[in-house]
């Protein structure tokens, strides 16, 4: 059947339905010809129609086709030189995914046809494959963007008041007994009243979803019966992954995602996406040709001095070239789309240092940051960096520019070290729990620049952190060689699960210590889904390929006491602004004398001096937080005030007697939290300068009974 076409427009890129037809637009700088391929069914082995695109404007190829609309399946074939040694890998035998596709129907079916070269040929990637890949690659879908948001607007919860809950769309609901089995593991399940009720009862203000951009599973994982569960292998930066759709695959996944966001917003919960713009799922020179490589390899990727090969700062085989205008535009268009069309509230950038690299070095003045800062839409979203990559100089904690928050890896390491009793300076511990001013203050950032976490998706869960000294990743099929071997964990005396009551009691107390430290620290706390009720991965600290009970939340085996403790702890933080200050403490946080808003004490009740911070054997200290010294204003212009608090940390393995500070700090105190106990409740009262016994490996929190 002959298809009528019109010139169309170069912008916007992608497939855009205007109510009468669809405009198709794709960027390729070095292509010699581009064909648009239309399909009638996702199971079709070949396209029903090929349309040679004749119009080209500034490296953008475009065509308009009337009388087609949402649900239309399509892909591209791009012609040009196949010269891998010159960085060119065009191969029209390979059907290609549109980088701007808003929906992708189905998942990749691995076959040798997906590779631009002949698999098994002695010449490797220098050979040329003439096998058609169309039967094995998922097709792009034209979508209808119309949606009734019912007045939904950004929640704009202040960063310093945020409590982030890192979770996985499927893992959170895969076994939830109160969610219909037919929708478990989907966007719809996350929007289900049972999910939202739980999140509200927990008290978090935002969920940070592990990657939902359409991704691929590596061939070697699939051949081993495993999968890319985490999703850090993107191939579609605009398309919500079809695996998490319960309502359909012809664009319904887009509507389902929007319904999820709307429901969460109605519950007062923001949505932050973990995004992977540093690389794609096409791998190195021996990887498949799925999209960018075949559209214009050298115009999307960072190539080595010998352009047959790729610069790899990500450990995945390739790195997107964020120095190029078209790649920057792709990233910015994607971010803007998720904010404006999908209503998400922020982003956590995976391996963000890779995006900031200019030639080789990480540059915080790079074009990537410049473009984001000047964008009136993206700059207003929550921007969180994973401030490292695997390249030289890639560990950039504290080095990102104003406007950015960072996963604070130094916080994680320091807090873990403190509670396992490793030799470390008390000064660093004090810096970490007061917002890490040594990392962020000089850049005019606030304590909210520090995303504090003790655990994340990558590594041990909280339960496993106190249960295992060694990783146990045998299920990953790599002979336990994958994953980090230095976990700063402590099994409390026995490796793995035990029936020993004393060890289990100590483990439970260590969990409470770590959680209490996290939620009473200045900065933004991030909790990993399931840590609040003792989720275990059986010692697996790299469960990226485990789409099963190892990774899923086990709703039937919850530690109810730990869950109650965590809810009470979050409520305590939210009730008292002293724990989520918007501004820094005055002066150097680890200096004690003469400070109005904070003071540090030895167990003897005397203020700490400079020399005390250098003792690497010290395990115990106390901090006074002055509720009158917050120095911030409420929305109505009134001064933020709170009760004063006195927090005693004892990481020593024996009890320690603390002497409370003089009357000028408070005449009377009441105990509101003691991690030696499973419940948070008010109990004993103490007078100024009275002695308080703090148990081994415990935190005791006292609140002043009057405002000074």
Give catalytic residues, as residue numbers. Answer: 350, 386
Residues with Cβ < 8 Å from 127, sequence gap 6 or more? Answer: 117, 118, 121
The dihedrals phi and psi of 208, each to the nearest 5 degrees, come to -105, 110
Question: Does an H or E element contain 704, and which?
Answer: strand 698-704
CA atoms within 13 A on the CB side of 57: 11
The secondary structure of residue 608, as a DSSP letter, is: P
Give the total residue count for the chain. Answer: 708
The dihedrals phi and psi of 697, each to the nearest 5 degrees, come to 45, 65
DSSP alpha helix (H) spans, 312-421:
325-340, 352-355, 367-374, 409-420
The dihedrals phi and psi of 140, each to the nearest 5 degrees, come to -75, 155
Contact 384, 451 (CB under 8 A): yes
Question: Cα–Cα distance between 168 and 232 in angstroms, integer?
Answer: 12
Contact 195, 171 (CB under 8 A): no
Strand, coil or helix: what is 694? Answer: strand
On the question of a cis peptide bond just before residue 12, with omega within 30 degrees of 0, the verdict is yes
Residues with Cβ < 8 Å from 489, sequence gap 6 or more? Answer: 416, 420, 460, 464, 465, 466, 468, 469
Question: Does an H or E element contain 371, and which?
Answer: helix 367-374
Burial 541-557 (b: 16+ CB within 10 A, else e): bbbbbbbeebbbbebee
């Amino acid at each position: 059947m002959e298809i009528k076409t019109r010139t169309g427009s170069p912008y916007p890129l992608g497939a855009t339905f205007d109510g009468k037809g669809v405009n198709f637009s794709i960027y390729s700088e070095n292509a010699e010809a581009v064909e648009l391929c239309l399909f009638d069914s996702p199971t079709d082995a070949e396209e029903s129609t090929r349309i040679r695109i004749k119009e080209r404007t500034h490296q953008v190829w475009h065509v308009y086709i009337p009388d087609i609309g949402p649900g239309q399946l399509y892909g591209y074939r791009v012609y040009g030189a196949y010269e891998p040694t010159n960085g060119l890998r065009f191969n029209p035998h390979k059907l290609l995914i549109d980088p701007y596709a808003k929906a992708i129907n189905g998942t990749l079916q691995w076959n040798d046809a997906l590779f631009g070269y002949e698999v098994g040929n002695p010449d490797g990637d220098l050979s040329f494959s003439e096998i058609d890949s169309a039967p094995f690659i998922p097709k792009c879908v034209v979508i209808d963007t119309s949606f009734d948001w019912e007045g939904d607007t950004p929640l704009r919860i202040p960063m310093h008041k945020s409590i982030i809950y890192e979770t996985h769309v499927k893992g959170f609901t895969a076994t939830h007994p109160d969610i219909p089995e037919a929708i478990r593991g989907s966007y719809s399940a996350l929007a289900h009243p049972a999910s939202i009720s739980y999140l509200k009862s927990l008290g978090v203000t935002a969920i940070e979803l592990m990657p939902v951009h359409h991704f691929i599973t590596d061939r070697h994982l699939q051949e081993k019966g495993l999968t890319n569960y985490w999703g850090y292998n993107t191939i579609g930066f605009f398309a919500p992954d079809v695996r998490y759709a319960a309502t359909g695959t012809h664009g319904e996944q887009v509507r389902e995602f929007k319904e999820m966001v709307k429901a969460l917003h109605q519950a007062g919960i923001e949505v932050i996406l973990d995004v992977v713009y540093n690389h794609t799922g096409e791998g190195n020179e021996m990887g498949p040709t799925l999209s960018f490589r075949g559209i214009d390899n050298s115009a999307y990727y960072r190539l080595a001095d010998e352009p047959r090969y790729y610069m790899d700062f990500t450990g995945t085989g390739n790195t997107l070239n964020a120095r190029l205008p078209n790649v920057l535009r792709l990233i910015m268009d994607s971010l803007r789309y998720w904010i404006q069309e999908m209503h998400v509230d922020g982003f956590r950038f995976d391996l963000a240092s890779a995006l900031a690299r200019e030639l080789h070095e990480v540059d915080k003045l790079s074009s990537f940051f410049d473009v984001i800062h000047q964008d009136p839409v993206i700059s207003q979203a929550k921007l969180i960096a994973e401030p490292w990559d695997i390249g030289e100089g890639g560990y950039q904690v504290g080095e990102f520019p104003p406007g950015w928050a960072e996963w604070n890896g130094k916080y994680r390491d320091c807090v873990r070290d403190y509670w396992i009793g490793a030799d470390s300076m008390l000064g660093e511990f004090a810096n970490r729990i007061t917002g890490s001013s040594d990392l962020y203050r000089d850049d005019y950032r606030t304590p909210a620049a520090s995303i504090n976490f003790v655990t994340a998706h990558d590594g041990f869960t909280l339960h496993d952190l106190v249960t295992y000294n060694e990783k146990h990743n045998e299920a990953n099929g790599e002979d336990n060689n994958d994953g980090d071997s230095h976990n700063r964990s402590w099994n409390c005396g026995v490796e793995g699960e035990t029936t020993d009551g004393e060890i289990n009691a100590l483990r439970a107390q260590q969990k409470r210590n770590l959680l209490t430290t996290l939620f009473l620290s200045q900065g933004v706390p991030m909790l990993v889904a399931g840590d609040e009720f003792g989720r275990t991965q059986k010692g697996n600290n790299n469960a990226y390929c485990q789409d099963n009970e190892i990774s899923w939340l086990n709703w039937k085996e919850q530690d109810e006491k730990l869950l109650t403790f965590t809810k009470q702890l979050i409520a305590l933080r939210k009730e008292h602004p002293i724990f989520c200050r918007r501004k820094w403490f005055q002066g150097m946080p680890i200096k004690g004398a003469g400070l109005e808003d904070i003071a540090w004490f030895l167990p003897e009740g005397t203020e700490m001096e400079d020399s005390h911070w250098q003792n690497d054997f010290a395990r115990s200290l106390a901090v006074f937080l002055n509720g009158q010294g917050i120095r911030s204003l409420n929305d109505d212009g009134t001064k933020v005030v709170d009760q004063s608090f006195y927090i005693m940390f004892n990481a020593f393995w024996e009890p320690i007697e603390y002497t409370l500070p003089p009357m000028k700090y408070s005449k009377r105190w009441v105990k509101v939290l003691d991690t030696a106990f499973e419940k948070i409740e008010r109990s004993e009262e103490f007078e100024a300068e009275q002695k308080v016994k703090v148990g081994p490996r415990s935190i005791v929190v006292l609140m002043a009974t009057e405002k000074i």
